[in-house]
Chains A and B, each alone.
Chain A
């Protein structure tokens, strides 16, 4: 009996903690449905008294569809670049005896810790010389540097855990290392690859600085840049800004809910190792 009571208590306490912690999200969504005068009401209302959807209509006029599409395009292409480069690299580092392996691993570890602002100025100048300012290429190339080290390190740990015998058996059947990798190892690693893909997607989805620095043209801007710009346009029309924020956060929430368990596990193993 006592044990069950304790279980109940813990569950309720847990829900309370999570609600308090995630209150900013709740407040964001609620505010997006309030009228301007209700937002400034004292005392504030917990739920909208007068639900309105005009904030969403208003921001729809504001290029947000284009922003959304850009975020999706930039994030997807970046994820593709990250996976194409990091999956083989992680496998190579896990399976082959390579001279300078420690150095390579060190390279990925160190680059993972670099702030974007350190490489921002030289990349801006470099991209200017290459003529790729104001294109999707700038943010994609730059954002991939966030995802690659992370993915290489996580996937390498995972590949180390796959028994070598599987590939040896495939080689006996006449597979070369590449086809053994593609046919045997890749399918096994798919869950981890998806986690790395999702994380790279999140990293890129959240990028603001690369996009606003490399691209002046608003037609190329992702949601984060759009919302930053909108802060001035809407002044303190917080319902519109919160509607914009809600739409920007939505895909992250959806992907997270779909992949929750795997993501949490993947993040934990990647960060510690």
Chain B
């Protein structure tokens, strides 16, 4: 009995330091963010230490700010666009590399590089390739004759957001492919064999066996993709900085701009809180989904 109690206590000794660390550096800031968003903290208030209490006025200002709504719309378009395409392409590639050939796993592994490289660098690469004059994208499209005039990838407000989505898809494909590959490799082969005996075509097998069996993995991949894409910052920050004319502003860059360009820390905090609430709700859905196969 005593021994059991001791071991219980030992368990906490192992677990608690990391928990305290995360509570101090994530939990406390989250709460502080809420307090900040009800105050009026600018650069001067920061140095003197007193900010007046404003109530909800920051949030009210925010919902009257047209750029805020542009950011919300952009964040959603950006996320949905990225998730859908990186999932489809990632899935196709996962299927391709699940065929048994010599270089399959090596080649699949190498593609992970685009996910691990700093986003600042990926953003810079795309900014370079998407230049209207010297950019290789336009050069290639012009030479094949798909377009007659250079595309204004990052300079047109109508196109810039989708150009960043393209970069994000590139970054996200390997991650989708990897998880889906793992899922595919865990599928029982005998079902496919018996389906083949029944005369099922490849496409039938895909839609009647692969997709239903992979359903849990597919949902998780899409959810994680959503969560990781929704918090996008670096790509937008480096590729366009939110421009031209706010056309690529997303919630995280808007929050950053309020805090560190305008030094209106309270507005920055309010924007961040809205971003947090949306993500939190989605995270809860995700958690419910994975709880089934989690060994708790």
Do A and B bind?
A: yes
B256→A115 contact, CB < 8 A: no
Complex CA gap A231/B128 in Å reads: 11
CB within 8 Å of A: which B105-150 residues? 107-114, 116-122, 124-126, 128-129, 131, 133-134, 136, 139, 143
Q: Are A119 and B26 in contact (CB under 8 A)?
A: yes
> Contacts A98-B12, A115-B275: A264 and B120 contacting too (C-beta < 8 A)?
no
Q: Does A65 contact B (CB under 8 A)?
A: no
Q: Which of B26, B101, B111 contacts A18 (CB 8 A)?
A: B111
Whether A14 pairs with B107 at a CB distance below 8 angstroms is yes
**In the complex, are the beta carbons of B255 and A122 less than 8 A apart?**
no
Task: Judge if B33 is at the interface, Cβ distance under 8 Å.
Answer: yes
**A interface residues, tally (CB under 8 Å):** 99
A121 CB–B CB distance under 8 Å: yes
Residues facing A in B162-181 (CB within 8 A) are 170, 173, 175, 178-179, 181
A230 to B26, CA, bound (A): 31
Contact of B269 among A18, A27, A122, A238 (CB under 8 A): A122
Q: Does B202 contact A (CB under 8 A)?
A: no
CA gap between A223 and B10 in the complex, in Å: 41
B13 located at the interface, meaning its Cβ lies under 8 Å from any Cβ of chain A in the complex: yes
Closest to A86 in B: B18
| In the complex, chain B residues whose CB is within 8 Å of the CB of A245 | 121, 124-125
Minimum Cβ distance to chain A for residue B202 (Å) = 14
Return chain A residues, CB-CB under 8 Å to B294: 105, 273
Pair A18/B29 contact, Cβ less than 8 Å? no
Contact B114 A267 (CB under 8 A): no
Given contacts A7-B102, A271-B179, contact A91 B14 (CB under 8 A): yes
A12 CA to B114 CA, complexed, in Å: 21
B56 at interface (Cβ–Cβ under 8 A)?
no
Complex alpha-carbon distance, A271 and B182, angstroms: 11
- Which residues from 1 to 39 on chain B have a C-beta closer than 8 Å to any C-beta of chain A? 7-8, 10-19, 21-23, 25-26, 28-30, 32-33, 36
In the bound complex, do residue A252 and residue B118 qualify as a contact, i.e. CB atoms below 8 Å apart? Answer: yes
Binding site for B on A (CB under 8 A): 7, 10-11, 13-15, 17-18, 21-22, 24-25, 27-28, 31, 39-40, 42-44, 85-86, 88-89, 91-93, 95-98, 101-102, 104-111, 113-126, 128, 141-142, 144-145, 148-149, 152, 160, 177-178, 181, 202, 205-209, 213, 223-224, 227-228, 231, 236, 238, 241-242, 245, 248-249, 252-253, 256, 260-261, 263-264, 267-269, 271-273
- Jot down 24 A-B pairs with beta carbons below 8 A, ordered by A: A22-B111, A24-B170, A25-B117, A89-B16, A98-B15, A105-B294, A107-B19, A110-B287, A116-B233, A117-B255, A119-B26, A119-B33, A121-B268, A121-B272, A122-B28, A122-B269, A124-B260, A141-B25, A205-B118, A208-B118, A213-B260, A245-B124, A253-B113, A264-B109
Residues of B within 8 A of A (CB): 7-8, 10-19, 21-23, 25-26, 28-30, 32-33, 36, 41, 46, 93, 96-97, 99, 101-104, 107-114, 116-122, 124-126, 128-129, 131, 133-134, 136, 139, 143, 170, 173, 175, 178-179, 181-183, 217, 220, 224, 227-228, 230-231, 233-234, 237-238, 251-253, 255-256, 259-260, 265, 268-269, 272-273, 275-276, 279-280, 283, 286-287, 290, 294-296
